[in-house]
Amino acid sequence: MIRERRSKEKLEQYYRKFVDQGVMDPNVHPWVAESWESSRAASVPHERMCLTHKLTREELAIRRQDNSAAVAFIDSLYLTLQEHFSAYNLSLLLVDRDCYVLKNYALPFFQKTVDEVEGARLSEQDIGTSSISLAYARQIPFLLFGPEMWTEDSHTGDACSAPILVDNDLRYILTIVALEPDELPYNAMVALLLSMRFALEQHLSLMSRLNAKHMMLDAIPYAAFHFLPGGEVSYANRRGLDRLGKEGYQASLSQKLSNYKRSPLAKGFMGIPSFNKEMTWIMPGKIYEDITTVIPISHQDEVEGIVAVSLPLEELRMLAAHAAGYRARYHLSAMVGIAPAFTAVKEKAARTARGHHHVVLQGEPGTGKQRMAHGIHQASPRAAGPLITVRCGGGTERSLALELFGETDVPGKVELANGGTLFIDEVEKLPTSLAERLAIVLEANEIVRPDGSKITLDIRVIAACDSDLKRLADKGIFTLALYEQLGRTVIKIPGLASRREDIPLLAEHIMVELAEQNQMPSKKLTPAAEALLMSFDWPGNTKQLQEVIETAFFHNNSDILDADDLKLPGETGPGRAWKENREAFIEAWKAAGGNISRLALMLDVSRVTLYRYLRKYGLEKE
């Protein structure tokens, strides 16, 4: 606030009248009057300034480091104005948001030595009314005349303070004290302070935005650079600096990049931009295969530099996989059970996860092979990579070939799984020609694209099958070459009938998951309900148990589920309605856990007949 010059004699009279008699003159500025009242109420001494709250040297050093951007800026700004401050006997303070003095420039602050002032707290409760306390409280610049200050030893000089706001947040207070106020017009002192305030606020705002941009650039998977015409590095983000090596900003582009003259970077300095071009970066000790964009920076038709952003192809594939939802949804901890047969399998899966061999998961339908595959991937060193799933049970051989190996400009799932895990469900149904092709790919650790280009692969395959894959390979039903690649580690997952003691635990776990997923209270089973579940054979295993629990969970309002609330599969018998009723057929199929052989036994028909009904009802075995 810019104020008119006031008579210091009258201001002194108002001050003495309040201090000695407790009477506030109506001519006292209302903000000053309010602060005087607060200073007296807080029993702040008025004879002399007492700097009782002070930081230690170590604490002050920490605060300066935390506020280094502001301190460094004022340091440099003061150097350009030092002569002016000396000529007019001005003192300059940089105060932080807690009213601690970070630095005292030029002359001492009201006859206090620099050591006395720096690190001292100058809030209203410490020194009473001051331009600092008023600027802090009102968050606008304020000029305070000497006799308006609370401590009498400050009456010889005038002070002006301005809050430093960044994004409407108070960061600092900048204060100028004129020890010989008659030497410098008030408006000149205020103009100087406001200019310094504007410069500091702009600088801090710019630094805040630059820091945010640096953080964003460091977080992206691209290597980002700004190169000058001589090949010097003006800027590089974290990934860019990693690529430049120990030389960092001292590196020269033409020296670090062996194929520089034939690269899009060289064309950029000719004013030719490149967008999403495949580029090989031949650097000392490493070669990068990237998708690179280069944009020239021009001024008056002269190229002053280039900006380059480069994404490794491996990262691109991984991003594409994650964007498509190719990631693990389950941990091994999500597989619940205490039965010795199951805990042994779970421990083997955890050990297997730490290795690199391909894995075969063997078990009846519904035993949780997919969940275990997710858990192995999540517990492996590949957890950050994609988890790609291929199901071999449906579709034509051509569609499965395109899904696995891709086509021109469209990578297949084998390539998308690079750096991660490829989960092949119902692998026993993989056509022989595709199985042989996959075996060659896994043996060579590379895939040949339809255009003839080769991609080095680093993938782990987890294959799931309902039957004994080795026996199928021995009989020539499954490709032996692929089994030899996959079958080093075989994990056999036991059916639910052989681990009945786990059924109550599994049921409880399923209900907890349902409650969390649907933001509902969980439910409990009565002993009778648990006994009923344990008495059933569960041909569809955990998947079938899940369906029963889900039905009971959502169709009962009570928090307790009893035996009567559970509808077990096929408990009333399938009858003959399935021959004419699609829904009855589906119910019988679910009761068999999706297993054609079990369903054939339940319905007392051949598998050929069942396949005919599958086609009739437009169903496929899943």
- Give the C-alpha distances (Å, rounded to integers) separating 374 from 186, 261, 369, 383, 423: 73, 46, 9, 9, 9
Give residue 281's pLDDT: 85
Task: Tell me whether residue 3 is in a domain.
Answer: no
Return the pLDDT at 572. 45
Q: What 3-state DSSP class applies to 252?
A: strand
Strand partners for 175? 93, 161
- Token readout for 501 is 């003691």
Calpha distance 312→355 (Å, rounded): 26
Q: Is 500 helix (H, G, I), strand (E, B) or coil?
A: helix
d(CA 102, CA 175): 12
What residues pair up with 465 in beta bridges, in sequence order?
Answer: 362
Residue 362 lies in a domain: yes
Residue 318 lies in a domain: no
| Statement to judge: residues 63 and 114 lie in one domain | yes
> Strands 101-106 and 446-448: what pairing?
unpaired
Using the structure block, give the residue that is written with the tokens 């369903």: 599
CATH number at residue 458: 3.40.50.300
Both tokens assigned to 267: 């064309």
Listed residues 494, 523, 541: the one ending a domain = 494
Same domain, 80 and 101: yes
Helix (H, G, I), strand (E, B) or coil at 454: strand
Residues 207 and 67 placed together within one structural domain of the fold: yes
My answer on whether 206 and 346 are in the same domain is: no
Residues 459 and 504 in one domain: no
Distance CA 368, CA 373 (A): 9
Residue 189 lies in a domain: yes
Say if residue 332 is in the same domain as residue 451. yes
| Rounded Cα distance, 543 and 539, in Å | 10
Q: How many domains does the chain have?
A: 5
CA distances from 333 to 346, 349, 370 (A): 9, 11, 14
Residue 2 domain flag? no
CB atoms within 10 A of CB 300: 5
Amino acid identity for residue 7 in this structure: S
Beta bridge partners of 176: 92, 160
- Domain membership of residue 259 (yes or no) is yes
Q: DSSP states of 569-597 as a string?
A: TTTT--TTGGGT-HHHHHHHHHHTTT-HH
Q: Rounded to an integer, what distance in angstroms lies between the CA atom of residue 547 and that of residue 590?
A: 9
E-assigned strand segments in 395-496: 406-407, 410-411, 421-425, 446-448, 454-456, 460-465, 489-492
User: Does the residue 572 lie in any domain?
Assistant: no
The pLDDT tens digits for 541-550 are 888 898 899 8
Domain with 75 in it: what CATH number? 3.30.450.40
Say yes or no: 598 and 457 in one domain: no
Q: Residue 592: which domain range?
A: 577-616
> Is residue 292 a part of any domain in this protein?
yes
pLDDT at residue 8, as a whole number: 86
Task: Retrieve residue 110's tokens.
Answer: 């009201």
Residue finishing a domain among 476, 494, 512: 494
Do 138 and 41 share a domain, yes or no?
yes
Q: Are residues 345 and 392 in the same domain?
A: yes
Residue ranges of the chain with pLDDT lower than 50?
Answer: 572, 621-622
3-state secondary structure 173-186: EEEEEECCHHHCCH
Tell me what pLDDT residue 360 has. 95
- With CA atoms as reference, report the closest residue to 146 among 130, 165, 122: 130
| Residues 62, 191 within the same domain | yes
How many residues are given for the chain? Answer: 622
Looking at the fold, whether 41 and 63 belong to one and the same domain comes out as: yes
Of 469, 494, 519, which residue sits at a domain end? 494
Cα four-point dihedral sign 346, 351, 354, 356: negative
Q: What is the 3-state secondary structure (H, E, C) of 114-178?
A: HHHHCCEECCHHHHCCCHHHHHHHHCCCEEECHHHCCCHHHCCCEEEEEEEEECCEEEEEEEEEE
Q: Which residues contact 530 (CB under 8 A, 6 or more apart)?
A: 503, 504, 507
Per DSSP, the chain holds a count of helices (H) and strands (E) of: 25, 21
CB 119 within 8 A of CB 17: no
Co-location of 337 and 437 in the same domain: yes
Q: For residue 266, what pLDDT is reported?
A: 87
162's tokens: 């301005």
Please give the span between the terminal C-alpha atoms of the chain, in angstroms, as a whole number: 77
